[in-house]
A and B are shown apart, each in its own frame.
Chain A
Amino acid sequence: MSAFVRSQLDGATTVPGPAPGWLVELRQVARQGFEATGVPGPRDEAWKYTQLKALQGRTPTVGDPDAAQRPIDLEKMLLEGLTGPRLVFLNGTFRPEMSRLDALPAGVDLRPLSSVLGSDPETARMTFASSEDEHGVGLVQLNTALAADGVWLKIAAGTVAEQPIHLVFAGADTGADLAWHLRHTITLAPGASATVIEQHVGESAAAQLSNVVESLRLGAGAALRHLRLQESPLSATLVSRSTVQLDADAVFESVALELGAGLSRRDMRVRLEGAGARLDARGATALRGRQHTDAHYEVRHIARDTSCDIRWRGIADERARAVFGGTIVVEVGADGSDAKLSNKNLLLSPHAEIDTRPVLEIFADEVKAAHGATVGRLDDNALFYLRSRGVPEVQARTMLTYAFCADALAAVEPESLRAQLGARLAAHLPQQHEVDA
């Protein structure tokens, strides 16, 4: 058993908050499961390019007892212009005074999971039910054993939530290695529509681990626009696993910018269960130093006439490493499906590394499918073209690098939000220079 596993199991005895009997039982099973499974290792194919060796040797404390009082200057980190509902977690702990839960629009139920467990634990049962194939996943087991809080968002049938719902996950230095485990549930009932903005920020010199398990369910005809801006401090290790289920004609539009954290692994498992369901996922990662991100998509076309379009851009400079895994499975019976997957990467340093693995498995008929992955450098012809017009080399490189991944933001509305994201992306690029979004 690694030092890490031991440290978390010791922490399992101190899960805060109320717990109904079924949850206590579930945690006990999960705890034993995690003890046997541990964290993914070198033989785990899905983690081939993201080794957690460093994590194995760490012994983070579970939870920050002072999180409720810990000061943090959030305003300078948050996206501007978001005045709607907001839920803030600091070091994995809900911060009511930083959140904005008063005057929630009709049909929008936004709460911390801890509150649901306290008042109405039965409704949270679904949240902790993990799917069959996740039973053996160590980090999910660990999460089940320890998660006592998270996001609880439900949008009632037919409700159109006008203002974006802002979910903030902040890390603040406790002076020691810290771990938290959060469990999120986002449910859109049939015909509901909402925008969720998930933002990861923080300031911590000490190492931190965030281990998230998330379940998203979109009822028939529901539409969720989901934006993730990840700018965690370099001391952060982020691991998250999201399962998204889409009923008929539901639409999930996802945009992700992975800019921060020393190590970030994000698994998106999307199940297109209803006919006509659609996934549109765009994202980009821009890394330097020794940063490492791993974006993993696994999309299952289960019903007919479902579609997915995944576009991921990776930029790695210095000694950074950008990993992408994209698997699309078109199951028997998912006829008429349309699957697109594109992963393009820019390698800016001889010491950086890109690993990409696109996989298509098709078991249905009349399927349209396309996938492609490239790794390259900046185009010398384009660079010379810009310079020949008078653009200095450094600026020209920045323009081309930015252009390479700006596609990820093309569909973001409103323009003011797109501009902020563009500026933050530009600030993370190897050569910094003002860029119009």
Chain B
Amino acid sequence: MLTISNLHVRVAGKEILTGLSLEVAAGEVHAIMGPNGAGKSTLGNVLAGREGYEVTAGSVVYQGEDLLALPPEQRAAKGVFLAFQYPVEIPGVNNTYFLRAALNAQRRARGEAELDSMQFLKRVRETLRVLHISDELLHRAVNEGFSGGEKKRNEIFQMAVLEPQLAILDETDSGLDIDALKLVADGVNKLRDPARAFIVITHYQRLLDYIVPDRVHVLADGRIVQSGDKDLALKLEEQGYAWIRERQLAGAA
């Protein structure tokens, strides 16, 4: 589904990703772990198409297409979803209205019929029920005045309604208490599907107790330095990222 090859990315003149390669197949959950400043969020933003990220080398092929050539809204229409580390507050734009506009724009782009408000509300209510989220967030402006937990829940809710093919969760666990964390993990697990892939970016192993990954990658200094199965996350938790650093040094010597 997704092939990232030797990706080099600059932000404000500084090289952040320095040759990152990653292969994600449909149905898989990949965890990307790493210390602060390793380039984890840069990866998520580049995949979603945020401006200000300069790709100096490498490629990203998504479902056989050059992902980097597409504007953000077309990536979304083709099934790419980024759950933001810091979801944006948008006063004056109603959450339901926004989500319907987004879903229908995606459907238009894919040549599918748009949903009328009845069809849309039915889908929304069903999603809320499955995720055990209160419908109160429907009536509010997008993320405005939401607590940290509510914002992350809203990201998962949007993901569930938009049904992406490739969902990237950028530190969705940061700042969450254990209940909110479980709710987020529960949402992801319910959406796991042979046709859908997840990239779960996280600093801590904790989230991976609830979302069990197929592969775990360690991102350091702008590239993947270690890959393994879910046990790698446990080992990182035990030994800390310094352990990776030592292994790198040992390898270099």
Residue among A387, A391, A396, A402 making CB contact with B92, cutoff 8 Å? A402
> In chain A between 362 and 403, which residues have their CB closer than 8 angstroms to a CB of chain B?
379-382, 384-393, 395-396, 399-400, 402-403
Given A384-B72, A399-B101, A436-B97, CB of A389 within 8 Å of CB of B158: yes
Residue among A386, A387, A389 making CB contact with B162, cutoff 8 Å? A389
* B49 engages A407 (CB within 8 Å): no
Residue among A386, A404, A406 making CB contact with B102, cutoff 8 Å? A386
Given A389-B102, A389-B162, A390-B162, CB of A381 within 8 Å of CB of B88: yes
* A390 engages B98 (CB within 8 Å): no
> Roughly how many angstroms separate A400 CA and B48 CA in the complex, as a whole number?
20
Looking across the interface, which residue of chain A has its beta carbon closest to that of B93? A403
Given A384-B51, A390-B162, CB of A399 within 8 Å of CB of B98: yes
Given A380-B51, A385-B84, CB of A390 within 8 Å of CB of B90: no
Residue among B90, B94, B109 making CB contact with A385, cutoff 8 Å? B90
Shortest Cβ distance from residue B12 to the other chain A in the assembled complex, whole angstroms: 14
Residue B165 at the chain A interface, CB threshold 8 Å: no
> Roughly how many angstroms separate A388 CA and B90 CA in the complex, as a whole number?
14
Looking across the interface, which residue of chain A has its beta carbon closest to that of B91? A403
Q: Which residue, of B49, B84, B90, has the highest number of chain A Cβ atoms within 10 A?
A: B90
Looking across the interface, which residue of chain A has its beta carbon closest to that of B88? A385
Residue among B76, B92, B109 making CB contact with A389, cutoff 8 Å? B76
Looking across the interface, which residue of chain B has its beta carbon closest to that of A402? B92
Q: For B106, list chain A residues within 8 Å (CB).
A: 390
Shortest Cβ distance from residue B14 to the other chain A in the assembled complex, whole angstroms: 19
Q: For B220, list chain A residues within 8 Å (CB).
A: none
Residue among A380, A392, A406 making CB contact with B73, cutoff 8 Å? A392
CB-CB contacts of A218-236 with B at 8 A, as 1s and 0s? 0000000000000000000
Q: Which residue, of A379, A382, A387, A406, has the highest number of chain B Cβ atoms within 10 A?
A: A387
> Roughly how many angstroms separate A389 CA and B83 CA in the complex, as a whole number?
10
Looking across the interface, which residue of chain B has its beta carbon closest to that of A392? B73
Give the size range of B's interface with the partner: 20 to 34
* B88 engages A382 (CB within 8 Å): yes
> Roughly how many angstroms separate A393 CA and B70 CA in the complex, as a whole number?
13
Residue B50 at the chain A interface, CB threshold 8 Å: yes
* B101 engages A391 (CB within 8 Å): yes
Shortest Cβ distance from residue B138 to the other chain A in the assembled complex, whole angstroms: 14
Q: For B71, list chain A residues within 8 Å (CB).
A: 387, 393
Looking across the interface, which residue of chain B has its beta carbon closest to that of A399? B93
Residue among A382, A384, A390, A396 making CB contact with B103, cutoff 8 Å? A390
> Roughly how many angstroms separate A380 CA and B49 CA in the complex, as a whole number?
13
Shortest Cβ distance from residue A186 to the other chain B in the assembled complex, whole angstroms: 31
> Roughly how many angstroms separate A322 CA and B101 CA in the complex, as a whole number?
30
Residue among B51, B87, B94, B102 making CB contact with A391, cutoff 8 Å? B102
Q: Which residue, of A382, A387, A388, A404, has the highest number of chain B Cβ atoms within 10 A?
A: A388
Give the size range of A's interface with the partner: 20 to 34
Residue B105 at the chain A interface, CB threshold 8 Å: yes
Q: For B87, list chain A residues within 8 Å (CB).
A: 385
Looking across the interface, which residue of chain A has its beta carbon closest to that of B96? A436
CB-CB contacts of B91-121 with A at 8 A, as 1s and 0s? 1111001110111011001000000000000
Residue B82 at the chain A interface, CB threshold 8 Å: yes
> Roughly how many angstroms separate A393 CA and B76 CA in the complex, as a whole number?
12
> Roughly how many angstroms separate A384 CA and B92 CA in the complex, as a whole number?
16
Given A379-B88, A385-B84, A385-B88, CB of A390 within 8 Å of CB of B102: yes
Q: For B89, list chain A residues within 8 Å (CB).
A: 382
Looking across the interface, which residue of chain B has its beta carbon closest to that of A380? B51
Residue B77 at the chain A interface, CB threshold 8 Å: yes
Looking across the interface, which residue of chain A has its beta carbon closest to that of B78? A390
Q: For A391, list chain B residues within 8 Å (CB).
A: 73, 98, 101-102, 105
> Roughly how many angstroms separate A407 CA and B144 CA in the complex, as a whole number?
14
Q: Which residue, of A385, A386, A399, A404, has the highest number of chain B Cβ atoms within 10 A?
A: A385
Q: For A379, list chain B residues within 8 Å (CB).
A: 88
Residue among B48, B92, B158 making CB contact with A403, cutoff 8 Å? B92
Q: For B141, list chain A residues within 8 Å (CB).
A: 403
* B93 engages A400 (CB within 8 Å): yes
* B73 engages A387 (CB within 8 Å): yes
Given A380-B51, A395-B105, A399-B101, CB of A387 within 8 Å of CB of B91: no
Given A385-B84, A399-B98, A399-B101, CB of A407 within 8 Å of CB of B73: no
> Roughly how many angstroms separate A311 CA and B88 CA in the complex, as a whole number?
24
> Roughly how many angstroms separate A138 CA and B159 CA in the complex, as a whole number?
62
* B90 engages A382 (CB within 8 Å): yes
Shortest Cβ distance from residue B124 to the other chain A in the assembled complex, whole angstroms: 14
* B102 engages A407 (CB within 8 Å): no
Q: Which residue, of A386, A390, A399, A400, has the highest number of chain B Cβ atoms within 10 A?
A: A390
* A400 engages B72 (CB within 8 Å): no
> Roughly how many angstroms separate A384 CA and B91 CA in the complex, as a whole number?
15
> Roughly how many angstroms separate A389 CA and B71 CA in the complex, as a whole number?
11
Looking across the interface, which residue of chain B has its beta carbon closest to that of A396? B73
Q: What are the 8 tightest A-B residue pairs by CB atom distance, in nearest-first order?
A: A403-B92, A390-B76, A390-B106, A389-B102, A387-B72, A385-B88, A403-B93, A390-B102
Q: A389-B98, A400-B93 provided; 14 other pairs, C-beta below 8 A?
A: A384-B49, A384-B51, A385-B90, A386-B90, A388-B84, A389-B158, A390-B77, A391-B73, A391-B98, A391-B102, A391-B105, A399-B93, A403-B92, A403-B141
